[in-house]
Amino acid sequence: MSDETAIWSALPVPGIVLDGDDRITSVNSAAESFFNVSERALVGQPVWDRLMVDAPMEESFRRARDHGTPLFVNDVDVGTGERPPMQCNLQIGPLPGESGAMILVISPRELAGRMTKSQSVKSAAQSAIGMAQMLAHEIKNPLAGITGAAQLLSMNLGQEDLELTELIVAETRRILKLLEQVDEFGNTKPPTLRPVNLHDVLDRARRSALLGVAAHMKIVEDYDPSLPLAHGDPDQLLQVLLNLVKNAAQASDKEGGTIRLRTFYEHSFRLRRADGDGRALPLQVEVIDDGPGLPADLEGDIFDPFVSGRENGTGLGLALVSKIVSDHGGWISVSSVPGRTVFRISLPCAPREPKESD
């Protein structure tokens, strides 16, 4: 492949070369996907038969060709007959040396939009989850087939080989569980906000953890009894706290350690947003453990999905926590040194009930 051909096919936006009669002489791979047909089917065709542009192009196009000047047309709907029109910018330039030949580059506005900073990291994670959810769905069926086949096989096997089929079944079950977690993550609903006593939620989390994941741990309560009600969804906040307590318990060794649940009021805690609108988040809940601390290589990424430092971790726990907290308009932060890891959630107060006299 010559350099020019390589550059042409690597160009990530659709590009079309036209002869002096507006017939297509060449397209790049991005254009093939844009038209959804191969180059062979396009070459020789009049371009305006294949490309519907909702702007009077002919006149300015002719002028660009006559004067050998480039032409830029922004924000036009471009259709291909194959699918609904999409907003694009068009760039047209004369090709040197060939009489009347032009190159036309189409930049779909959707792609341009995707490159702006306005779409946050969160939506990248969101689409990763969307993909994973679709994948999970597709993997479940063949997985059921594998389990079934292994179980059939096992009927005629001796003890030694049975262990192998049991391994297949057990491992398949583990994958299924992971897939279910991915599915559950993708299906988290927006919270139903109402006044919530955070100490009730903390208490539920503490009791449930002591019966299960944190049975080997000591859990100490350090509450500010005058803490006002939060504006939140108690079930989702319970999920948040259970995940944090579970992580703390899993981080400490088998001997056990201490988890401290702390609440306090911090009047000045405000979340400043890009649009300048500040939001008061005075309610602070901390889950503190005395374990080894965050693995150094993960520190910046622990809230991303599928980031895990544990052998059997899915890495979805903190991604879910951070999604729920942000759905509450809250904030989560972490500080960690060996012997002291603090996850802090900052939440808004419940709006004041209007008084009778108001």
Question: What does 293 interact with, of ligand ATP, Mg ion, none (CB < 5 to 8 A by kind)?
Answer: ligand ATP
Q: Is the Cα torsion angle 27, 32, 36, 42 positive or negative in sign?
A: positive
Question: At 186, which amino acid appears?
Answer: G
Q: Does 247 bind Mg ion (CB under 5 A)?
A: yes
Question: What does 104 interact with, of ligand ATP, Mg ion, none (CB < 5 to 8 A by kind)?
Answer: none
Of 317 and 330, CB closest to Mg ion:
317
Q: Does 252 bind Mg ion (CB under 5 A)?
A: no
Which pair of structure tokens corresponds to residue 267?
A: 């009047």
User: How open is the CA angle 105-110-113, to the nearest 5 degrees?
Assistant: 105
Phi and psi of 156, rounded to 5°? -110, 25
Of 223 and 306, CB closest to Mg ion:
306
CA-CA distance, 144 to 155, in Å (whole number)? 17
Q: Is the Cα torsion angle 45, 48, 53, 59 positive or negative in sign?
A: positive
Burial grade of 25 (CB within 10 A; 0-12, 13-18, 19 or more): middle
Report the interface residues with ligand ATP, using CB under 6 A: 243, 247-248, 251, 289, 291, 293-295, 298, 302, 307-310, 313-319, 341
Nearest distance, CB of residue 298 and ligand ATP, angstroms = 6
Question: What does 239 interact with, of Mg ion, ligand ATP, none (CB < 5 to 8 A by kind)?
Answer: none
Nearest distance, CB of residue 321 and Mg ion, angstroms = 8
Of 274 and 296, CB closest to ligand ATP:
296
Query: Which residues lie closer than 8 Å to 317 by C-beta, 6 or more apart?
Result: 243, 246, 247
Of 197 and 326, CB closest to ligand ATP:
326
Which pair of structure tokens corresponds to residue 76?
A: 């036009």
Q: Does 315 bind Mg ion (CB under 5 A)?
A: no
Q: Does 346 bind Mg ion (CB under 5 A)?
A: no
Of 245 and 347, CB closest to Mg ion:
245
Question: What does 207 interact with, of ligand ATP, Mg ion, none (CB < 5 to 8 A by kind)?
Answer: none
Question: What does 294 interact with, of ligand ATP, Mg ion, none (CB < 5 to 8 A by kind)?
Answer: ligand ATP
Q: Does 317 bind Mg ion (CB under 5 A)?
A: yes
Nearest distance, CB of residue 102 and Mg ion, angstroms = 57
Cβ atoms of 90 and 106 closer than 8 Å: yes
* DSSP secondary structure string for all residues of 289-350: E-SS---TTTGGGTTSTT---STT--S-HHHHHHHHHHHTT-EEEEEEETTEEEEEEEEPBP
Question: What does 22 interact with, of Mg ion, ligand ATP, none (CB < 5 to 8 A by kind)?
Answer: none
Element (H, E) at 28: none
Nearest distance, CB of residue 181 and Mg ion, angstroms = 10
CA-CA distance, 291 to 1, in Å (whole number)? 57
Nearest distance, CB of residue 109 and ligand ATP, angstroms = 36
Phi and psi of 102, rounded to 5°? -135, 155
Of 214 and 248, CB closest to ligand ATP:
248
Nearest distance, CB of residue 191 and Mg ion, angstroms = 20
Of 147 and 247, CB closest to Mg ion:
247
Of 60 and 250, CB closest to Mg ion:
250
Summarize as ranges the residues that interact with Mg ion (CB under 5 A).
247, 317
